[in-house]
Chain A
Amino acid sequence: MWAILSILVENKPGILFKVTHLFRSRNFNIDSISVGITENPDYSKMTITTYGDEKQIEQIVKQLDKMIDTVKVEHLDEHKTVFRELSIFKIKLSNANDSMEINKLANAYGGKVHDVKKDSIMVELTATPDQIKAFEELAKPFGIIDVARTGVAALQRSGV
C-alpha cells in the first residue's frame, strides 16, 4: 500500500540525513519526500510517501517515532487528507496545434502555462500524484523534454 507519513522534527542540521538514513538502513523505500519549515521556526515538517504492507508501514512509523529528533509522526489517511504535489513539465512543440492542445490539457488539470517558446512549453501543475501521472501520460505523445516534482505536501482535514 501507498502511505503518506507526516513527520514533525526539530529544525536542526542533520535531521534530514538521519531520517533518510533510517529508511535506507531498515530496508524501507522513499517514494517522495518534501521538507519545509513550519509556522514555528523551531520545527520542520517532512512529508514522506512510501510503499509497504501494513506491518511494514507500522514498523516505519515506530522506528521514526523512536528517533529522538522526531517530535510527532503520523500515518495520514489519504481519504481524510489534503495532499498535493507541485510538478513542472517541459513539453516539445512539433506541430502548429500543439501549443493550443497543451494549453487545453493544462487547463483541464488546473495547470498553468509558462515559458512558451517556438519549440517548447512549460506546464506547472499542482495536483495529487495520481493526477500528475495521468497528465504525464497525456503529455507523453507530444514529447516530454524534462520534468521536476517536489514530492507530496499533506495536511489532515479538520474534524475527521
Chain B
Amino acid sequence: METMTGAKALMTAMEKEGVKQVFGLPGGANLPMYDEFARCDIRHILTRHEQSAAHMADGFGRVSRKPGVCFATSGPGATNILTGIATAQADSSPMIAVTGQVPVSMIGKDAFQESDIIGMANPVVKYAFQPRTAGEIPEVVKKGFFIAESGRPGPVLIDIPKDVQQNEAPMNFPDEFKIQGYHPWADPDIVNVEKAIDMLLHAEKPIILAGGGTIISSAFAELQSIAETLMLPVVTTFKGKGAFPENHPLSLGPIGMHGHAEANKMMSEADCVLAIGTRFSDRSVGTFEAFEKRLKIIHMDVDPAEIGKNQTAQIAVIGDVRVNLRVMVKLLLQRVIKKSEESPWVKHVKETKSYWKENLKLHPGEMGAAKILRKLREILPKEAVVTTEVGQHQMWASLFYDVIQPGTFFSSTGLGTMGWGFPAAIGAKVARPDVPVVDIAGDGSFAMTENSLATAVLEDIPVIVFVLNNSTLGMVAQWQRTFYDRRMIGVDQKSCPDYVKLAESYGAQGIRAQSMDELDKAIRTAISSDVATVIDIPIDPEEDVLPFVAPGTSLADMILPS
C-alpha cells in the first residue's frame, strides 16, 4: 500500500475511474486537491461560476453516460453547485460533485466559508459522502462512481474536509466493495413482459410512451423494433424527446403541456399505454386522475418507487428498460408476432398526424419560431447534439426541432433550470468534440450563465449558442398574457445586453440574424468555425408557444392557435 495524501488519493482514484477532466473553480478549502492537477493527467476546465461547473458535468454525463465531475470549494462554492446538483437529480443524470470543507476540527464552529452542504444537499443527491479520514477516500470514490452511474443514475456528493485532503495515509484502492442496501438492478422480468405483450395485442388503441429512461439506457433499437413489429404509434415525454426518430412514420413527438397536438390527441384517445422509463410528471400527463382513468398502463422502470407514485399501473416491469425491452423483442420473435396490416387505429393516428402537420397555425412572420428551428434542423447534421435552456425557446424546440438520431437532445426537463443549456452544451462538446453542439437558448436563460463564454473561449470548446431573442422572459410573459389579463410584470429585458457585443467581448464570435438568409449563413458559419459562436435572432415578443395544456387540465383540453 502506497502512502499518499487524501488529495492525491482522490485524483488517483478518479483516474482509475477513467476521469479525463474536471469542471470547477478553486477556493481555500479545496486547494490541496487543486494542487494535484499539477501532478496528474486530469484536465481542469475553469468555470466562472460553480453552478456552471455542475451543469457542464451534467451535460458531459448525459451525453457520455459516464459521471461528469465538478469541483467547488466550501461554503458559497458548495451552495453555488446545489442548483446544478438538484438539476442532475431531477433528470437522473450521473454526476460526481466534490466539495472542499473546513477541517474536521472546525466543523460545526461556523468557521469561515463553512456550510453544512451534506445537510443541504441531502434531498437532491442520490448519495453523499463526507470522509473523515484520508484512508477512506479510495473506497468512497469507487462507491461514489458506482452509485452515480448504476440503476437510475444521479448525482453523488463527496465533501472532503481540508485536513482530510492534506493528511497522509496508506491507501488501498479496492476493486471490490459492498453496499448492502443498494440493489440497482433487477433480473429480466419475463413473466410480466409476456403479460404486457398480451395486453398490447388485445388493446384496440395501444400506444407507446417513451420517457427519459429510454434514452438513459440507450434502448433505441429495441424501442424501434417493438414499435414496428406491433405497429404501435410512439409518443414521448419531453425528456424522452428523440428516444424514437421524430421523422419516423409512427412518431408523434412529445406529449405534455407544450406537446405536439397530434401526440396529445392520440394519447388522449389511446386505451393502453406501454410507458417506458417515465415518472408520469405533471407536465407530461396533465391531471393524474384524467390520465389513469381511461388507460390500461404497462409501466417499465428501473426505479421501483416510480411504480404507482403518480399513476397506477396494471402491469409493472421493474428493471433496466433496455434489458426488459430486449426480452420483449425476443418473445415477439419467438411468438412470430408481426403486424403488417395497418389497424383502423394506426390509420387514424396517421391521418391525425398529417392533419396537424398541415393545419397547425404558425406565426405568419418570416422569423417565426417554427421557421427558425426548422432552418436549424435543416442545416445541422443529424448527429449534432442539442441542449436547451428553459422557457419558450425550449418548448418551441420541442415542437419544431425534430430529433432524427436518438439521444442527441438534452434539456433541463425536471427542475427546469434556466441557464442550464449553455454550460451543459460545453460539457456535451467535451464528451463529443467531433459533432456540432448547439444550445437552443432564449435571451432570459442565456443571461444566467453567459459568463461560461469565458470557459468556451479560453478552453477552446467551440459550442454554438442559438438565442431566440424576444427581449422578454417569454414564458412568464405568455402566462401573464394568458392568465393575468396582460399585466406584464418583471418580464421586459429591454434588449440588454447586446449579445453580439457581449460575445465579442469574451473573444467569441457574435452574429445577428434578422432574416432567413442571414440565419442560414450564420448557422453555416458557426458550424465551420473553431471558436464559440453566439447567434442572436431577434423575434416577435408576442409570439406564444402553442398548443398549450393549461396547468391542472387534461391533455385533451389543448389551447390551440386561433
A-to-B contact residues, CB < 8 Å: 9-10, 14, 17-18, 21-22, 25, 55, 58-59, 62-63, 65-71
Asked whether B127 lies within 8 Å of A68 as measured between CB atoms, the reply is yes
- Output the least CB separation between A9 and chain B (Å): 8
Q: Interface digits, B158-198 against A, CB 8 Å rule (1 contact, 0 not)?
A: 00000000000000000000011110000000000000000
Give the interface segment out of B301-309, B404-412, B554-562. Answer: B301-309
Asked whether B303 lies within 8 Å of A66 as measured between CB atoms, the reply is yes
Asked whether B305 lies within 8 Å of A10 as measured between CB atoms, the reply is no
Asked whether B308 lies within 8 Å of A65 as measured between CB atoms, the reply is no
Q: Which residues of A contact B127 (CB under 8 A)?
A: 68
Q: Which residues of B contact A68 (CB under 8 A)?
A: 126-127, 147, 179, 181-182
Chain B 370-386 interface residues, beta-carbon cutoff 8 Å to A: none
Q: Which residues of A contact B181 (CB under 8 A)?
A: 9-10, 67-71
Q: Which residues of B contact A25 (CB under 8 A)?
A: 123
Q: Which residues of A contact B118 (CB under 8 A)?
A: 14
Asked whether A65 lies within 8 Å of B304 as measured between CB atoms, the reply is yes
Q: Which residues of B contact A59 (CB under 8 A)?
A: 305, 308-309
In whole angstroms, how far apart are the Cα atoms of A118 and B119 in the complex?
48
In whole angstroms, how far apart are the Cα atoms of A131 and B69 in the complex?
55
Q: Which residues of A contact B180 (CB under 8 A)?
A: 10, 71
Q: Which residues of B contact A21 (CB under 8 A)?
A: 122-123
- Output the least CB separation between B90 and chain A (Å): 13
Asked whether A55 lies within 8 Å of B308 as measured between CB atoms, the reply is yes
In whole angstroms, how far apart are the Cα atoms of A79 and B122 in the complex?
35
Q: Which residues of B contact A58 (CB under 8 A)?
A: 308
In whole angstroms, how far apart are the Cα atoms of A63 and B126 in the complex?
12
Q: Which residues of A contact B303 (CB under 8 A)?
A: 66
In whole angstroms, how far apart are the Cα atoms of A58 and B123 in the complex?
20
Q: Which residues of A contact B309 (CB under 8 A)?
A: 59, 62
Q: Which residues of B contact A9 (CB under 8 A)?
A: 181
Q: Interface digits, B124-153 against A, CB 8 Å rule (1 contact, 0 not)?
A: 001100000000000000000001000000
Q: Which residues of A contact B305 (CB under 8 A)?
A: 59, 62-63, 65-66
Interface centre among B118, B179, B180, B309 (most CB of A within 10 A): B180
- Output the least CB separation between B313 and chain A (Å): 12
Chain B 433-455 interface residues, beta-carbon cutoff 8 Å to A: none
In this complex, what residue of B is CB-closest to A66?
B305
In this complex, what residue of B is CB-closest to A71?
B181
Complex A-B: 8 CB contacts under 8 Å: A10-B181, A14-B118, A25-B123, A58-B308, A59-B305, A63-B305, A65-B304, A66-B304
In whole angstroms, how far apart are the Cα atoms of A6 and B312 in the complex?
25
- Output the least CB separation between B365 and chain A (Å): 45
Q: Which residues of B contact A62 (CB under 8 A)?
A: 304-305, 307-309
Chain B 304-329 interface residues, beta-carbon cutoff 8 Å to A: 304-305, 307-309, 312
Q: Which residues of A contact B119 (CB under 8 A)?
A: 17
Q: Which residues of A contact B182 (CB under 8 A)?
A: 68
- Output the least CB separation between B128 and chain A (Å): 9
Name the 10 nearest CB pairs between A and B, nearest first.
A62-B305, A71-B181, A25-B123, A68-B182, A66-B305, A70-B181, A63-B305, A68-B127, A71-B180, A68-B181
In whole angstroms, how far apart are the Cα atoms of A55 and B309 in the complex?
8
- Output the least CB separation between B304 and chain A (Å): 6
In whole angstroms, how far apart are the Cα atoms of A91 and B330 in the complex?
72
In whole angstroms, how far apart are the Cα atoms of A75 and B307 in the complex?
17
In whole angstroms, how far apart are the Cα atoms of A71 and B312 in the complex?
26
Query: When the two chains form the complex, which single residue of A18, A55, A63, A66 contacts B122, counting CB atoms closer than 8 Å?
Result: A18
In whole angstroms, how far apart are the Cα atoms of A14 and B122 in the complex?
10
Chain B 217-238 interface residues, beta-carbon cutoff 8 Å to A: none
- Output the least CB separation between A40 and chain B (Å): 12
Known A21-B123, A22-B123, A68-B179; 19 more pairs at CB < 8 Å: A10-B180, A14-B118, A17-B119, A21-B122, A25-B123, A58-B308, A59-B308, A59-B309, A62-B304, A62-B307, A62-B309, A63-B305, A65-B305, A66-B303, A68-B126, A68-B147, A68-B181, A69-B181, A70-B181
Asked whether A17 lies within 8 Å of B122 as measured between CB atoms, the reply is yes
In whole angstroms, how far apart are the Cα atoms of A67 and B127 in the complex?
9
In this complex, what residue of A is CB-closest to B132?
A13
- Output the least CB separation between A3 and chain B (Å): 16
Q: Which residues of B contact A17 (CB under 8 A)?
A: 119, 122
In whole angstroms, how far apart are the Cα atoms of A118 and B112 in the complex?
55
In whole angstroms, how far apart are the Cα atoms of A59 and B308 in the complex?
7
In this complex, what residue of A is CB-closest to B143?
A68
In this complex, what residue of A is CB-closest to B182?
A68
Chain B 52-93 interface residues, beta-carbon cutoff 8 Å to A: none
In whole angstroms, how far apart are the Cα atoms of A65 and B186 in the complex?
14
In whole angstroms, how far apart are the Cα atoms of A21 and B128 in the complex?
14
In whole angstroms, how far apart are the Cα atoms of A69 and B128 in the complex?
11
- Output the least CB separation between A149 and chain B (Å): 27
- Output the least CB separation between B258 and chain A (Å): 27
Interface centre among A58, A59, A62, A68 (most CB of B within 10 A): A68
In whole angstroms, how far apart are the Cα atoms of A10 and B143 in the complex?
16
In this complex, what residue of B is CB-closest to A14?
B118
- Output the least CB separation between A143 and chain B (Å): 41
Chain B 454-499 interface residues, beta-carbon cutoff 8 Å to A: none
Q: Which residues of B contact A67 (CB under 8 A)?
A: 181
In whole angstroms, how far apart are the Cα atoms of A65 and B312 in the complex?
19
In whole angstroms, how far apart are the Cα atoms of A68 and B309 in the complex?
19
Q: Which residues of A contact B308 (CB under 8 A)?
A: 55, 58-59, 62
- Output the least CB separation between B53 and chain A (Å): 25
In whole angstroms, how far apart are the Cα atoms of A70 and B183 in the complex?
11
- Output the least CB separation between B185 and chain A (Å): 14
- Output the least CB separation between A60 and chain B (Å): 10
In whole angstroms, how far apart are the Cα atoms of A71 and B119 in the complex?
21
- Output the least CB separation between B246 and chain A (Å): 33
In whole angstroms, how far apart are the Cα atoms of A22 and B124 in the complex?
11
Interface centre among B180, B181, B312 (most CB of A within 10 A): B181
In this complex, what residue of A is CB-closest to B305?
A62
In this complex, what residue of B is CB-closest to A24?
B123
Q: Which residues of B contact A65 (CB under 8 A)?
A: 304-305
Q: Which residues of B contact A63 (CB under 8 A)?
A: 305
Q: Which residues of B contact A71 (CB under 8 A)?
A: 180-181
- Output the least CB separation between B383 and chain A (Å): 35
- Output the least CB separation between A66 and chain B (Å): 5
Q: Which residues of A contact B122 (CB under 8 A)?
A: 17-18, 21
In whole angstroms, how far apart are the Cα atoms of A66 and B179 in the complex?
13
- Output the least CB separation between B44 and chain A (Å): 30
